[in-house]
Amino acid sequence: MIDIVYLNDNLSKIDKPKHWDDWNRVRDTMFVHTRGRNPGEILTSRRPNEDPEIQKYRLSIYEPITKGSMNRAIDKLYRIFGSANFSIQVSEELNEYLSTKKFDGQYFYSYVQKYVVRRMIEDPNGYLIWIPTGEGLVDSSIKVEVKPILIYSWQIKFVDDDVIVWLDENEHSEIYENGKSKQSGLVYYSLTETGYYKHIQIGTSKEKRFQLIPIYEHNLGVVPAMVLGGDLTDNEYFESYFHAFVPFGNEAIRQYSDWQGVMTTTCFPYREEVAETCSAPGCRDGVCWNEKDQEHHPCRVCKGTGRVITRSPFGVFLREKNNSILDGGGSGSSEPMIRFVSPPVDVIEYSGNAWQTLLKKAEESLHLNTINEAQSGVAKEIDREDSFMVLTKISNNIFDEIIFKSLLFIEGYRNVTNPMSPVIVKPISFSMKTENDLIDEINRLNDKNAPISFLVETTKDLARKRFSGNKSIARMVEILVVYDPIYHINTKDKSMMLASGTIKKDDIIKSIYAFKVLSQIVAENGTEFLENEMSVIFSEMDSRLNVIVDQYIPKQVVDLAGGEQMNVDAEIQKREAEAKANLKGSVGGVQGIIEIQQSVASGITDPESAVALLMEIYGFNQDIATRIIGTPKPIVPVEPNLNVNG
């Protein structure tokens, strides 16, 4: 166990952590790509003998070309939290606490996604610490509030298994320097296995003495802090999970800067003009002799160049007529007075393509790019495997270290007597499917007669994707796919299932009216109704849908013999009606009717019996049954020819 008093007395003598320089290098390099910070040495180290003015210019026009690529990659990590196949179980009190915006104005999981994941990529050797705050620090009857703080690696003064000490960059104490009071003293905080402390600098700036102020005894038995984490190196410090981006990203920055220089110096055409010898009095190669002071001075006409370009005030070039007899008195030369020379574009194109290629390679090195549709199936599968491995590695750190330990610390702070350990089921899939992907999957599952549970869950995923901004509609779809087993089936297939006897008529009626009924219930009771248990919602829907079903399938039938209405079991009657309807529409049913007609025609069955048979078996009324039988043409038997001799 750490002696906190001894630590405080020797705070000024503690050396910086062993890998402090490596921590800073990793962080500063990542900041160039995540925050667009000026690259500095990344550019200057390439040309150590470059002219200082040119170097300064290159740094001043720097553009963070890698920032967009890096931040898109970080955004893709959010799919870790978008999967539906993970769960976290905590105590009821902690679950309620996590549902409040007590974490820098965010919910707990939003805080982890928005702040912690990004800092983990930027500064993997930094720490996430949990400190107690609020009235509970001084009143034991009140539970403490728990606040997260993200510590940069450069702030860490000392860290081991027993304690972490960090510098507060925003807080300063009063010290004396040259006899004057200044608010420039250092302020450190520390967390141990048992307590939370503050160390403020006192006395003079040279003394480096610190006063120890106990803040709270938490007695968690562990330091409530965790390193953000990354890829562990052989030297026992972390590189960022995105460190593969750095080599290509740095080179893309250098090449882009070179391309800017090429664009500035050789991209645009340059102008060439015909100049004449300066004809100013006394000018010789741009120098004139001054008789008064007996000294040479630059010519004011040609500015010391010895050459002038003859043009009018309106930009027209003037060319003197040649009076030479040999030249025929024409103009002196046929050469144009001005021309534009275009430089070759090969270097420009190569330089431009080079930095774009390097940036693309930097993106590909993270294995988080969307799969290219033009790739072969094998290539796509390899890319998915690489992406899955990267996301799994990062996901394990987030859930096993950051989220699990954070929940454990919060529970320990607020439930001192009987803390409950969180139970986490980590995600096992990170696929982010589009609406078209989900629709195609539903169609494939239907075609392959997949189990209903697969269809239901895929339909839920589609609803969450389509109605991501409308939780009420998404919840309604979730209810309907559970309530209605044929919700996902189209109308044509439902009709075929009815004809084959797979489903009943009331199943289709309920399926047709379920959404309308649920919408009416929500309109009457508000969206809060959707938060009820499924059993409560189903009961209300059943009570309303049964009324609609009864309108289509009556509960009373007419006695064929006496013509009086009789009360019969509704379920039996419904099944009879459905069976008769199914029989009429089947091939066997039509064949049976034809055979009855043939039986009447042959005299085997009388017409009255045939009509009664159609009414009883097929459910036709008497008029239709009579018309079906009609007046069959008698079948005349053919006498066999017994004349053997012909």
Determine the pLDDT at residue 563.
47
Determine the pLDDT at residue 377.
46
Domain range list for the chain: 269-342, 435-553, 565-629
With tokens 């089921």, the residue in question is 425
Checking if the pLDDT of 408 tops 80, the result is yes
Q: Mind spelling out the 3-state secondary structure of 375-420?
A: CCHHHHHHHHHHHHHHHHHHHHHHHHHHHHHHHHHHHHHHCCCCCC
Determine the pLDDT at residue 562.
47
What tokens does 549 get? 């079903």
Checking if the pLDDT of 448 tops 80, the result is no
The residue-averaged pLDDT of 372-384 equals 48
Return phi, psi of residue 201, to 5°: -70, 135
Determine the pLDDT at residue 190.
96
**pLDDT band for position 356 (50/70/90)?**
very high
Distance CA 257, CA 435 (A): 41
In this structure, of 17-26, 124-133, 331-340, the range with the lowest mean pLDDT score is 331-340
Checking if the pLDDT of 1 tops 90, the result is no
* Contacts for 214 with CB less than 8 Å, ≥ 6 apart: 195, 196, 197
With tokens 């007529």, the residue in question is 321
Checking if the pLDDT of 374 tops 50, the result is no
**Helix, strand or coil, per DSSP, at residue 227:** strand
- How buried is residue 459: exposed, middle or buried, by Cβ count under 10 Å (0-12/13-18/19+)? buried
The residue-averaged pLDDT of 527-531 equals 87
Distance CA 257, CA 289 (A): 48
Taking CA atoms, 546 is separated from 10, 421, 495, 541, 641, in Å, by 80, 47, 20, 8, 68
With tokens 């290159």, the residue in question is 58
* Contacts for 360 with CB less than 8 Å, ≥ 6 apart: none
Check if the beta carbon of residue 94 is closer than 8 Å to that of residue 414.
Answer: yes
- Which pairing describes strands 231-232 and 238-239: parallel, antiparallel, or unpaired? antiparallel
Which of the residue ranges 57-71, 231-245, 427-441 has the most confident prediction, judged by mean pLDDT? 231-245
Checking if the pLDDT of 218 tops 80, the result is yes
> Which residues make beta-bridge pairs with 264?
none
**Helix, strand or coil, per DSSP, at residue 103:** strand
* Contacts for 339 with CB less than 8 Å, ≥ 6 apart: 271, 272
Burial pattern 105-114, b for ≥16 Cβ within 10 A else e, equals eeebeebbbe
Give the CA radius of gyration of the chain: 44
The residue-averaged pLDDT of 329-357 equals 77
In this structure, of 180-189, 407-416, 474-483, the range with the lowest mean pLDDT score is 474-483
The residue-averaged pLDDT of 99-110 equals 90
Checking if the pLDDT of 568 tops 50, the result is no
Return phi, psi of residue 435, to 5°: -60, -40
DSSP string, 12-58: GGPPPPTTHHHHHHHHHHHHHHHT----THHHHTT-TTS-HHHHHHH
Cα within 13 Å of Cα(144), Cβ side: 23
What percent of the chain is predicted at pLDDT more than 90?
37
Checking if the pLDDT of 119 tops 90, the result is yes
Determine the pLDDT at residue 314.
64
Check if the beta carbon of residue 302 is closer than 8 Å to that of residue 278.
Answer: yes
Taking CA atoms, 511 is separated from 78, 390, 484, 504, in Å, by 36, 44, 6, 11
* Contacts for 326 with CB less than 8 Å, ≥ 6 apart: none
Determine the pLDDT at residue 375.
45
Considering the chain, what is the average pLDDT of its residues?
82
Running DSSP on this structure, what letter comes out for residue 113? I
Among candidates 197, 200, 205, 206, which has minimal Cα distance to 187? 200
Determine the pLDDT at residue 341.
77
In this structure, of 6-10, 71-75, 288-292, 359-363, the range with the lowest mean pLDDT score is 288-292
For residue 541, count other CB atoms closer than 10 A to its CB: 20
Among candidates 251, 266, 271, 255, which has minimal Cα distance to 348? 266
What percent of the chain is predicted at pLDDT more than 70?
83
What tokens does 635 get? 């079948």
Largest distance between two CA atoms of the chain = 164
Determine the pLDDT at residue 220.
93
Distance CA 313, CA 173 (A): 71
Check: pTM over 0.75? Answer yes or no. Answer: no
Checking if the pLDDT of 382 tops 60, the result is no
| Residue type (1 letter), 439 | I
Checking if the pLDDT of 406 tops 80, the result is yes
| H-run or E-run covering 272 | strand 270-273
The residue-averaged pLDDT of 133-140 equals 92
> Taking the C-alpha atoms of 9, 11, 15 and 20 in order, what is their torsion angle to the nearest 10 degrees?
160
Determine the pLDDT at residue 159.
94
